[in-house]
Structure 1
Amino acid sequence: MPFENLQSDVPEGLTTDGFTLRPIVAADAEMDYAAVMESREYLRTWEQSSWPEDDFTVAANREDLEKLEQRHANRQAFTYTVLNPAETQCLGCVYIMSTDAKMFTGARISPVADHKWEDYEAAVYFWVRKSHLATAMDRELLDSLRTWLAQAWNFRGHLIVTNEQFIQQVDMIRETDLQLRFEVEEAGKPGRYLAYE
């Protein structure tokens, strides 16, 4: 398993004034579905796929979440839901993938300068519900994630990853002090993924 040698307990989550972050479970299907479908147009750009389809259902979403919940329990990958403080609305999702996951082993990874992919243990992706972008929720989440990843995890190194076609997120990341380290090209995907540290 990619994260089987992680030398600490997996963090239960994070609570801030603006949101709660906790492991996603199948019971979150309806809340997650509402956020996904509201944000489906830009999620298709972020995913570089047709997901979620217009006819995507809560039942299909529940099946997806069951798999994510199991992968989390098995330390294959970690998925956290982002909820409002009352935990009544999903605001987005955070995905922590191993850098030796299958999606990366088959990809073309181009370093910027002399950085080495094997020096990093985790790749972190996130998205925020479309209706919360106007309030800069994505920047709030990113800033909180950076602190949480540095303090609560013991990764050898981690990267924040987005897609070059997801311009809104790329522009937001460029407003920070994060630096581009790698460009990742996956077979069959029209745009590159950009990995920052």
Structure 2
Amino acid sequence: MFSMKKPFVPTEFVVPLRVEQAGYTLSPLTTAHVDKDYEAVMSSRESLRHIFCEYDTTWPKGSMTLTDNYRDLARHQQEFDERQAFAYTMETPDGQSCIGCVYIYPCQRGNYDAQVYYWVIDSVKPDGLEADLDEFLHRWLKETWPFELPVFPGRGISWQEWEGLNHGI
């Protein structure tokens, strides 16, 4: 969990619970998504190792179990419920498959107030869905969320620059 001196989002802010876009929907990531999320994570685990840092050998492990994934989703769900962080599942419009995730966390580096990570499964990357999601997220965060300066580590800022930023503003 995150410890924050002030709330991540204002009390009066209405956190979006469902967003529909052409080709996908976003909704809070919960334990109800465990099977679909696990399948998505394991299908693209090698490329996911570049999502939260330059290269992570610890997540997702090849030996990750459905129970491990359930624990992760329970943590994300609790953070969302407590408004400490916001993880969204990205599903096909019919809700049959998880095709990615979006994570919005508080940020204490530089002048940034939110750090955003996202991924899509390898099989939809050739369709341009990752680029569409990137464009949407930048617009959505600017127009809907109360952030002044969100950052996309490893995407909008290099990992080297990100790691060099001061912590704890």
TM-score (norm 1): 0.72
CA displacement at 1:50 relative to structure 2 = 2.6
1:41 corresponds to which of 38, 46, 49: 46
CA displacement at 1:138 relative to structure 2 = 0.3
1:184 corresponds to which of 142, 162, 169: 162
Q: Alignment RMSD, CA only?
A: 2.3
3-state SS of the aligned residue for 2:147? coil
Q: Taking every aligned residue pair, what percent have the same amino acid on both sides?
A: 33
The number of residue pairs the alignment matches comes to 157
3-state SS of the aligned residue for 1:88? coil
CA displacement at 1:19 relative to structure 2 = 0.5
5 Å-filtered alignment, 1:98-177, equals 98-100=106-108, 117-118=110-111, 120-162=112-154, 170=155
CA displacement at 1:150 relative to structure 2 = 1.2
2:27 match: 22
Structure ranking higher in strand proportion: 1
CA displacement at 1:63 relative to structure 2 = 1.0
CA displacement at 1:5 relative to structure 2 = 5.3
1:9 corresponds to which of 14, 17, 24: 14
3-state SS of the aligned residue for 1:62? helix
Stretch moving more, 38-47 or 89-98: 38-47
TM-score (norm 2): 0.83
* Amino acid paired to 1:97: Y
Which runs of no fewer than 5 residues in structure 1 stay unpaired?
A: 105-116, 163-169, 171-177, 186-191
2:100 match: 92
CA displacement at 1:179 relative to structure 2 = 7.2
Structure-1 separation of matches of 2:157 and 2:39: 33
Q: Deviations over 1:80-121 (max 9, x none)?
A: 110000111001010101112xxx5xxxxxxxxxxxx22x21
Q: Structure 2 vs 1, CA of residues 179 and 76 (structure 1 numbering), >3 Å: closer, same or farther?
A: closer
* Amino acid paired to 2:125: L
Structure-2 separation of matches of 1:68 and 1:5: 15
CA displacement at 1:46 relative to structure 2 = 2.9
CA contact (8 A) 1:13 1:80 kept: no
CA displacement at 1:26 relative to structure 2 = 0.5
CA displacement at 1:157 relative to structure 2 = 1.6
